Amino acid sequence: MASLFSGSIRLRGLELSNRLFMAPMCQYSAMDGKPTEWHLRHYVERAVGGIGLVMLEATAVSPEGRITPADLGLWSDAHRDALKPLVDVLHSAGAKVGVQLAHAGRKASTAVPWLGKGSVSKSDGGWDTVAPSAQPFDDSHTTPDALAKDGIDRIVHAFGEAARRAVEAGFDTVEIHAAHGYLLHQFLSPLSNKRHDDYGVSLEGRSRLAREVVSSVRLNLPDSMPLFIRVSACDWIEGGWDVDECASMLRDVATQAVDFVDVSSGGVAPGAKMPVGPGYQVGLASRIRAATGLPTGAVGLITTAEQIDQILLAGAADAVSLGRLLLRDPYWPSRNLSADARRVPSQYLRAYN
């Protein structure tokens, strides 16, 4: 029997050949926000490997929105022009391509993971950070500046402009990053949002920035292009952001034409007790799907074809994002997709005949 993930999925005008997506995974290898030869090698191998959708890593909408000085960016037309050749090559390999637009907030200006941890000083290329409230992520991070209304407005505008550039670069879809403790998640969670204005206190206030970003991005996308959003469905900390609040926020943005929810969890504060194990976040995707009616993607320690089939058969999610599995094995999809669904470049056909 053909694997369930071999089936196609359509989101607005985007037809994806299978239900295996590449999760956005930072490479920390950009130069001044622009891709390098590493990105070309990294992403093209996964495209040739048969993945249905390649989602580029967190790509900052402003210089100060980068997680590290080595993050990708889309804050200028020069960055758009630098990304377009990469998109073109991925299309030539048969893949559809998305980009995750992001702002790191108080988790910005940090060291590349394999070089250290915590904030990078200005003398080493770092910068001042911003957040909903003047609270650092932990003792290794500098204290951010609490955003004023004009700063919030600039960020909303920056997301919209980055979406425009993504369309011009040829991307097939855009994902808004509202997960893992980065800026939009910082506003959503009461653990990091201590504001007492229109952007704090209640769920309506804490979710206002996310709604404004969705509107700004959607206005810059063609009607045929689906809009993804990645969420942390819960914080795994008492008193934090939870699945019910997440579902409520998503029902609101669904009316603004969000088409797909990439469901993850955690990241907003240290000390979370995450029940890490095979498929540990699948139940969150299932609950979000049931509560919102939106198509969802499951992610997190999903490593076998049997797991994926069970997720799809149970209706827990509509697609599965592969993360570290694809770092280890970029050709896993081509080996596990059914023969009629396998996407093989013309140059390699003789290996399958």
CA 247 to chain centre: 18
pLDDT in tens, 246-268: 999 999 999 878 999 999 999 99
pTM of the model: 0.97
pLDDT of residue 344: 84
Residue from 28, 182, 280, 352 carrying the catalytic annotation: 182
Element (H, E) at 89: helix 77-92
Instruction: Look up the CATH architecture of domain 4-351.
Output: Alpha-Beta Barrel (3.20)
Domain assignments of the chain as residue spans, ordered by start: 4-351
What is the Cα–Cα distance from 188 to 98, expressed in whole angstroms?
24
- Check: CB of residue 141 under 8 Å from CB of residue 126: no
Alpha carbon of 110 to those of 32, 59, 94, 127, 176: distances in Å? 15, 15, 35, 9, 21
In the chain, what is the straight-line distance between the N-terminal and C-terminal CA atoms, in Å?
21
What lies within 8 Å, CB to CB, of 154 at 6+ separation is 62
For the chain, residues with pLDDT lower than 50 are 1
28 is catalytic: no
Kind of pairing, strands 9-11 and 20-22? unpaired
Within the chain, what is the greatest distance between any pair of CA atoms? 65
CB distance 236 to 265 below 8 Å: yes
Please choose, from the candidates 139, 170, 171, 175, the residue with its C-alpha nearest in 3D space to the C-alpha of residue 25: 175
pLDDT tens-digit readout, 97-146: 999 999 999 999 999 999 999 999 999 999 999 999 999 999 999 999 99
